[in-house]
Amino acid sequence: MNGPADGVLGGVRRPRPPDSALIMAALPVPVVLLDADNRFRFVNQAAEQFLGVSASYLLQHALLDLVPADNPLLLLIEQVRAHDLTIADHDLTLESPRLHKPGITVFASPLPEEPGAILLVLQDASAARALDRQLAFRGAARSVTGMATILAHEVKNPLSGIRGAAQLLESSVTGPDLELTELIRDEADRIRAMVDRMEMFGEKPLARTAVNIHRVLSHVRRLAESGFAAGVRFQEVYDPSLPPVSGNHDQLIQACLNLVKNAAEAVAGQSHPEIQIQTGFQHGVRIATPGSPHRLDLPLQVTVRDNGPGIPDDILPHLFEPFVTTKAAGSGLGLALVAKIVGDHGGLIEVDSRPGRTEVRLHLPVAADEDAPGGADG
Ligand SMILES: Nc1ncnc2c1ncn2[C@@H]1O[C@H](COP(=O)(O)OP(=O)(O)OP(=O)(O)O)[C@@H](O)[C@H]1O
Ligand SMILES: [Mg+2]
């Protein structure tokens, strides 16, 4: 791909294009070249990271050292060789003792100059899908917003009437009837508590300050440890240099508390119940949102990880919708509220779950200069 000397083309001086090998190495997409015997001939840095193996190892090994012979990827490669076509396949799983990569998209192309050689471009579609889903959930959370406001308004008034009437009756009835009036009162209180929770979905402008996320997380950890997560081992892995989040202190507590509560409920019954809370800063990653020319700059990451059994596959596509629950006493509002709060912050959520390791990652914006310093934070 080297052009004429000094990049002179048709008399016009152009900057010389950089070496294609350098471009390939820096490409943030895993690229692998296999020879006719499926031995690794080239891997770029992204592929090393993706496969979790160094290039020096890979270049002395074959694909069969990484995935079993019955993996559909090998069939795909044979098809490409047989038909001399580029073929893309979605939702492949690269599974072996050293590798677990579900939901991979693979583009496989022949290399005309090298008979039998195959170029593979790999893509971790599960990460992209998680983001897609989260973006769709924003809509789901919005539709609840209107409903919540109406519910709160329409239900609360008659409810207090019912409760008051039951209380009045209590003074004039006895025996089993008294039990009934108490039942009415208790149930009215339960509905009221639920409506209060629904009301949090209501559309209110978010009062933002510069929030120290570590204070939020430590507070949540303390609440959890002294209550619903007693007996769970907590691990906090905090990046002390993290700048403040642009956000609402109380709502961030609410969101993180819901995540930690889910994690605690997932690890209950585990022989070594463990929850890890981690923060980090991701440099230079911007996330494109469908239908918008803007890219979100969300460098702050908060991860809540547990060693529970994982999120059931069948609810994954609806995870952030309200009333989706697998728990007998669950309302299914926890993650819907997290999605609403994170959406209001302009952030995103990613979910990665398999048995023994469930991870929910929040991507949040850094506080801007115009954000007031947080009252509750230093
Ligand atoms: N860390 C996790 N591990 C396994 N499953 C999870 C985890 N977090 C959420 N889930 C699944 O997602 C469902 C929805 O969670 P969500 O927090 O929205 O509702 P809930 O926990 O069931 O009820 P609520 O939060 O209202 O008490 C849960 O019922 C559970 O099946
Ligand atoms: Mg929950």
CA–centroid distance, 350 to ligand 1, in Å, is 15
CA–centroid distance, 258 to ligand 1, in Å, is 9
Residues in the ligand 1 pocket, defined by CB under 6 Å: 258, 262-263, 266, 306, 308, 310-312, 315, 319, 324-327, 330-336, 358
Ligand number with the minimum distance to the CA of 338: 1
Ligand number with the minimum distance to the CA of 269: 1
Q: Count Cα atoms within 13 angstroms, Cβ side, for 12.
A: 3
CA–centroid distance, 332 to ligand 1, in Å, is 7
CA–centroid distance, 291 to ligand 2, in Å, is 30
- Which residues, including other chains, have CB under 8 Å from residue 17's CB and lie 6 or more apart? 1, 3, 7
Atom nearest to 197 CA in ligand 1:
26
Residue 160 CA, distance from chain mean position: 40
Query: Position 332: which residue type?
Result: G
CA–centroid distance, 262 to ligand 2, in Å, is 5
Per-residue pLDDT of the chain (378 residues; tens, 9 = 90+): 444 444 445 555 667 777 887 888 888 889 999 999 999 999 998 899 888 889 999 999 999 998 889 888 999 999 999 988 888 887 788 887 777 888 788 889 998 888 999 999 998 765 555 565 666 566 666 566 666 666 676 777 778 888 888 888 888 888 888 888 988 988 888 888 878 777 777 666 778 899 999 999 999 999 999 889 999 999 999 999 999 999 999 889 989 999 999 999 999 989 999 999 999 998 765 665 555 566 667 889 999 999 999 999 999 988 988 888 999 888 888 898 898 889 889 888 989 999 999 999 999 999 887 777 764 443
The CA distances from residue 64 to 39, 75, 99, 122, in Å, are 8, 12, 12, 17
Q: What is the pLDDT of residues 190-201, one digit of tens each?
A: 888 878 777 777
User: Closest Cα to atom 19, ligand 1: which residue?
Assistant: 332
Give me the phi and psi of 3, to 5 degrees please.
-80, -175
User: Closest Cα to atom 7, ligand 1: which residue?
Assistant: 262
Q: What is the predicted pLDDT for the residue at 206?
A: 76
Ligand number with the minimum distance to the CA of 325: 1
CA–centroid distance, 94 to ligand 2, in Å, is 31
CA–centroid distance, 123 to ligand 1, in Å, is 28
Atom nearest to 304 CA in ligand 1:
1
Ligand number with the minimum distance to the CA of 331: 1
For ligand 2, an ion, list residues with CB under 5 A: 262, 334
Give me the phi and psi of 123, to 5 degrees please.
-140, 130
How many other CB atoms are found less than 10 A from the CB of residue 189? Answer: 12
